[in-house]
Chains A and B, each alone.
Chain A
Amino acid sequence: MFQNRAEALALALPAALFAAAVFIAPVVILLSDGFRAPGGGWTISAYTEFFSSSLNQAVFLRTLKLGVLVTIVAAVIGYAAAFAIVSLEPGKKGKVTGLIVLPLMISPVARTYAWIVILGRTGIVNQAFQALGISEAPLRILFSETAIFIGLLQLFLPLMIISLISALENMPKDAIPAARVLGANWFQVFWKVILPLTKEGVVIGGTLVFTGCLTAYITPAILGGSKVLMLETLLYQQVTVSNNFVAASVIALILIVMSFAANILLKRVATARNKTMRNTKGTAQ
C-alpha cells in the first residue's frame, strides 16, 4: 500500500470525473425531470399520473411478472444444468461450460432474431404443430408475452448457470454425501444442504437475470412488437412517439428502483436464511 494521496487521486480521478460527467450527471438530471413541477418546484404528480393509466399499470406489472418469472425458471433450469455440469469429468466440463457461455458473445440482435424464424407464422414451431395436427391454422406466438419470456430466458439463462456452477464448485465436497448418510432424501438434500450452501450463487445469478430482464430492450422490441410493451420499450415509445420526456424520466427511475430493490431483496432473503440456519445450529448444541 502506498501512502501518497495526491498521486493516488491523480491516477483515479480522471476515470471518476469522466464517469461522473458523462454518465452520473446526465442520468441524475434526467431522473430529476420526473419530479419537476411545470411552474417550478417539485412534485410527484408525474408518478401518480403515470400509475393512473391502465396501460402503464399493465406494462409495469408485465415487466415485473416477466422479470420474476424468467428469474425463477432460470434458477430451476440453472440448478439442473449446473448440477449436471459440475458432475462431468474436468475435460468435458470445460467444453460444456464453453458452450453455455458462447451465446453471451453473440449479439442479442442475432439471438433474438432467431426466435422470429422459430416462433413466426411460418416458423418451425407452427410447421411442427400443423404437421402433427395439433392446430389447424398457424398460432400467433410471436408478439406475445410468451415470445418475450422465451427470448429473455434464452438471453439470460447462461448468467444464472455460470453463477450456480461456481457456487456448486465452492460447496464443501462432503456436504451432499454427509446429508445422504444422515438419511436425507434428494429433495431434503437440495432444500436443506445445496440451497443454503449455494444461495450466494442464486442471489448473484438472480440479480443478473432480473436486472437483465428489466434493461433488455431488443428482446421485447422484436418479440413483443409495438403492442406487448415492457418498461424499456414503453420508455422508447414515450420518447420517439409522444415526445414525453417526463414519462421517460419516470420510467427510468422505476427501472432503476426495481433493479436496486431486487438486489436488496435477494440479499435480504439470503441473509435471512443464514440467520435461521445459525439459530437452529445454536439450539442443537
Chain B
Amino acid sequence: MSDPNFLTLENLTLAYGDTVAVKDLNLTIGKGELVAFLGPSGCGKTTTMRAIAGLLSPASGHVKLDGADITRVSANKRNVGLMFQSYALFPHLSVYENVAFGLRLKKTPAAELDKRVRAGITSVGLSDYADRKPGELSGGQQQRVALARSMVMEPKVLLLDEPLSNLDARLRLDMRSELQRVQKETGVTMIFVTHDQGEALSLADRIVVMKRGAIEQIGSPEDIYNRPTSAFVADFVGFENIFELSDGRLKTPKGPVELSGPVPIAAGLAWRPRMVTLGSGPFQGTVRGASFAGNSREYLLDTPLGPIKAEVDAALPPHELGAELAFDLPVGTAAQLSTFG
C-alpha cells in the first residue's frame, strides 16, 4: 500500500435539493485497498459513491484523489471508473465498441486502442462475443463487459454499485473471484457499495458501515463481524440479542437484570445466537419456536429478558416447544458496544 491517503473525503456533506443525504463525512482510503460501503438503503452509501465519481457535487467538503483536490473536477475528467448496478451498457454499440468508448474519446491511436480493447475483452473471457450487442448477452456477461469497459480506462479508483446483487448464486462466486483477480492484477483501488453484509465480509479489505448519512464504524471484516461497536452494526451483522447497559445491568422490558460475572464499562452488550449458552445458567426461558438449519438448531425463547435467540449444534437432542430451559448470556464472549441506539 504505497499511499495511505490516496483518496480522502473531508467534511463531505451531500444533499439532493434540501434533503441532506450525507453529513460531514471523513474517510481516508489507501492506494490498492478494496473497501466496502455497507448499509441499508438510504444510508448514503450510493450518494457518497456518486460524489467520488463526480456525478454529484458536494454541498460542502472536499474530495482528494492522488494528491489533488478533485472536488470541482467534472466527472468526465476524474478518471474514476464506475460499474453500474444496471451495468449501463450502451445498447446501440457492440461489446467491442462499448469497451472502446472511453479510449476513442481519449483519441487513443488505433493500434493501441485495438490492442487494449481486445486485451480487456479477453481478460473477462468474452473474446468470442466482441461483435455482439449487449441485448444478446446474459446478465453475467453484460456485467463483465461493464467491468472491462471501466478497467480498460485504467481508472485510479473503480467504484462498483452493488456488484453482486443482480446475480444468481453461482455467478456471484464467479464475479467475486473475477473482482479479486482484477484487483490483484492491476492493484486498482476499489470501492463497492452493498447492502449485503456477506458480500462485504467476503470481498473487502476494509468495511465502512454507514447509517443515515454518517459513518457508523470502520474496520476489517473481522472487526465488523466480531467486534461491532454499536447496536446498529451489531444488528446488521447478525447479533440477534442486543441489550443496553445501565449501571452494570441489562436494560430489559421488564426492568434491569444482573449478569453473572464482572460487567465491562460499555453502552451495551450483544450476543450472536450461537453465543448463548443453553441448558445451564442463571436465566430461565420457554421455547416458543424451534427450527432445524442443517448443522444447527435455532430456538426462540420467551424470557424475563424479552425474546432471546439461541443456536446450538444439531447433534444435541432437540427441545420441545414449551420446554423450560436454563440459559446464560456469558459476559466474556459478548460484543461490547460503545454506542447504543
Contacts and interface: CB of A to CB of B under 8 A. Distances in A.
Interface of A: 3
List 3 A-B pairs, minimum CB-CB distance, nearest first.
Answer: A3-B16, A3-B17, A3-B56
Interface in B10-61: 16-17, 56
Query: For the side of the interface on B, what is the size category?
Result: under 10
3 contacts: A3-B16, A3-B17, A3-B56
Contacts of B56: 3
A3 B47 CA distance: 14
Contacts of B16: 3
Contacts of B17: 3
Interface of A is mostly: loop
Contacts of A3: 16-17, 56
A3 B17 CA distance: 8
A3 B16 CA distance: 8
Nearest to B15: A3
A2 to B, nearest CB: 9
A8 to B, nearest CB: 13
A3 B56 CA distance: 9
B273 to A, nearest CB: 40
Nearest to B16: A3
A3 B57 CA distance: 10
Nearest to A4: B57
B236 to A, nearest CB: 28
A3 B14 CA distance: 13
Nearest to A1: B16
A192 B56 CA distance: 52
Interface in B209-251: none
A102 to B, nearest CB: 31
Nearest to A5: B17
A60 to B, nearest CB: 50
B15 to A, nearest CB: 10
A162 B74 CA distance: 48
A181 B63 CA distance: 67
Nearest to B57: A3
Nearest to B17: A3
A6 to B, nearest CB: 14
B290 to A, nearest CB: 35
A1 to B, nearest CB: 9
B296 to A, nearest CB: 42
B203 to A, nearest CB: 29
B204 to A, nearest CB: 29
B38 to A, nearest CB: 25
Nearest to A2: B55
A2 B106 CA distance: 25
B114 to A, nearest CB: 34
Nearest to B55: A2
